[in-house]
Amino acid sequence: MNTNHLKLGIWVLLASSSLGLMAAQEPIVRYKILANSPEQHIQHFGASDAWSMQFLGLWPEKQQQKIADWLFSLENDAQGKPKGIGLSVWRFNLGAGSEEQGDSSQIQRGTRTQCFLKADGTYDWNKQEGQRRFLKLAKQRKVPYLLAFCNSAPVYFTQNGWATNTGRGGTINLKDDCYDDFARFIATSLKGIEEHDGIHIDYVSPINEPDGHWNWLGPKQEGSPATNREVAHVARELNKALIKNKMQTRILVNESSDYRCLLGTHETDWQRGYEINSFFSKDSTKTYLGNQKQVLPLIGGHSYWTNTPIPYMREVRMQLREACRQKGIKFWQTETCIMGNDEEIGGGGGYDFSMKTALYVARIIHHDLVYANAESWSWWRAAGGDYRDGLLRIYSQDGWKTGWAVDSKLLWVLGNYSRFIRPGAQRYDISAIVADGSEMEEGYNDPYGVMCSAYRNTDGKWVVVAINYSEAMKPVCFDLEGADAAMSNCHDIHWMQYRTSDRSEESLMPVGECSGRVELIPRSVTTFVQK
């Protein structure tokens, strides 16, 4: 056989195969960062210590350090892989004293909290030891912001003597003459933490989920509803207490349990709804908080229950964004996890280490940042058990005296945002351009394909987070429009890629540098950091 003919045949075969593959490939999409279209500044990404760090903070030192590195570290290992996700805000659950009550507390074991305040009116600064340990571990790793939140007033001040309230018409579980006592407790506790532990708390949320429509049956959690007037009363008393103590801590209101209560009513009445208007309209004279010195000019909310169906997920966030714009305030998403109505991934039961939950949460993050213009975004628990509410899965065989933690794709996908989009970064709009040069409407927001968002850190470097929700390879490139003329097309920008995917080794893994065209692999989240 003529070897030249053989070589020619092989070449033709390979060429034909390549052409067939090229024909089957998806067309490249250019994602153009609109540098003349700035959006919100990003303040932080976070998680809370609730129900776990009270135990984990008492585990052996080596285990504590490993968990703290996963959550807070900004360092890389010898291979250049991030050691952790670099959370920039840490939520501290200021306890109400159900732990001291034991089984009589009506609170399920493991979710009870200690209280610095004792029944005789004195304070014990050795309480909440495990949680305070993680405050220190966070600060050691340069977490820049700390937020304290209350699920309940101390049990000594509540109407029923417990840190839980199953109704009472949706009114606050706080004695009428104890509003100032509750405020002094918060101010004293935060000041005590600073004096005894050297830890300054930047923000405090005095009432968590006051509009909650839950009614705990059986084993309960700490919590209390509150009307808007009651929330405003607490915030005003706390404002006075912080000023009196010359404290710089700012007040966050009101950590709504549901975006729908910020905008109107949802399974509540007018007394616990329309919260943006209630707290930030001057004509709402009984509830207006915009004139309180320590109250932040923003509203907090939790994105539970509004993540499906997708058209509604977008709609409610756009409504929230516009409502905040009209009042001249900002928005923070301060807590979420997987719930029963998140049916696309099977609800919250049973921990999931895989990309299934991680991708779903990435989509939520994207929509909160891009549609609601959230300036802060936090997950619920940093660590949890056999439910999809923890970034880490924790185990114990001795009642949580000791144990171990396992990381998850969820942890690292949050890190695709938190590790690289640092406090003060600004988000910019993106347009998607297809092969014929036309713009693809909402092309950067395909909930089952590619979702992209772009940011510029305070050092001037660009960051792009690209989610590929699909099962297909997605060819893309990124360029700039309207600024940085020297870097105006895909080939002018050099990126370092960090990817989290179904591949076991890819958990915020550096996967090389690129410029121009790049492939987003199926079921992945990739962060592109400008070199």
* Residue boundaries of the structural domains of the chain: 24-40+428-530, 44-423
List the alpha helices (DSSP H) in 393-433: 409-418
In the chain, the amino acid numbered 496 is: M
429 membership: H or E segment, kind and range = strand 425-433
The DSSP secondary-structure symbol of 521 reads: P
Range of lowest pLDDT (140-149, 217-226, 229-238, 474-483): 217-226
In the chain, the amino acid numbered 137 is: L
152 membership: H or E segment, kind and range = none
What is the CATH T-level fold of the domain 44-423, as seen in this structure? Answer: TIM Barrel (3.20.20)
Question: Considering the chain, what percentage of its residues have pLDDT values greater than 90?
Answer: 87
Band (281; pLDDT cuts 50, 70, 90): very high
User: Is residue 10 pLDDT above 60, yes or no?
Assistant: no
Segment 83-115, tens digit of pLDDT? 999 999 999 999 999 999 999 999 999 999 999
In the chain, the amino acid numbered 251 is: I
Q: What does the pLDDT read at residue 259?
A: 97
Long-range contacts of 261-270 (CB under 8 A, 24+ apart): 261/211, 262/299, 262/301, 262/320, 262/323, 263/316, 263/319, 263/320, 263/323, 266/211, 266/213, 267/213, 268/170, 268/211, 268/213, 269/170
Segment 326-378, tens digit of pLDDT? 999 999 999 999 999 999 999 999 999 999 999 999 999 999 999 999 999 99
In the chain, the amino acid numbered 165 is: N
Q: How far apart are CA 450 and CA 30, in angstroms?
A: 12
Q: What does the pLDDT read at residue 213?
A: 77
Q: How far apart are CA 71 and CA 216, in angstroms?
A: 31
Residue 43, SS3 per DSSP:
coil
Considering only residues 405 and 483, tell me which one the structure prediction assigns the higher pLDDT: 405
Q: What does the pLDDT read at residue 16?
A: 38
Q: How far apart are CA 474 and CA 452, in angstroms?
A: 12
Q: How far apart are CA 192 and CA 123, in angstroms?
A: 9
Q: Tell me the DSSP string of 263-318.
A: HS-SSS-GGGS-HHHHHH-TT-TTT--TT-TTEEEEEEEE-TT-S-SHHHHHHHHH
Percent of the chain as helix, strand, coil, to the nearest 5: 30, 25, 45
User: Is residue 410 pLDDT above 90, yes or no?
Assistant: yes
Domains 24-40+428-530 and 44-423 share a fold: no
Q: How far apart are CA 362 and CA 414, in angstroms?
A: 7
Cβ 262 vs Cβ 276: under 8 Å: yes
155 membership: H or E segment, kind and range = none
Question: Considering the chain, what percentage of its residues have pLDDT values greater than 70?
Answer: 93
Task: Give the residue carrying structure tokens 């003349």.
Answer: 36
Cβ 474 vs Cβ 450: under 8 Å: yes
Task: Give the residue carrying structure tokens 């405003």.
Answer: 232
Best CA proximity match to 433, nearest among 425, 423, 422, 444: 444
User: Is residue 5 pLDDT above 50, yes or no?
Assistant: no
The CATH number of the domain covering residues in 24-40+428-530 = 2.60.40.1180
**Average pLDDT in the chain:** 93
Best CA proximity match to 294, nearest among 234, 334, 249, 230: 249
The DSSP secondary-structure symbol of 388 reads: T
pTM higher than 0.85, yes or no? yes
User: Is residue 501 pLDDT above 80, yes or no?
Assistant: yes
Side-chain half-sphere CA neighbours of 281 within 13 A: 13
Segment 120-159, tens digit of pLDDT? 999 999 999 999 999 999 999 999 999 999 999 999 999 9
Cβ 439 vs Cβ 31: under 8 Å: no
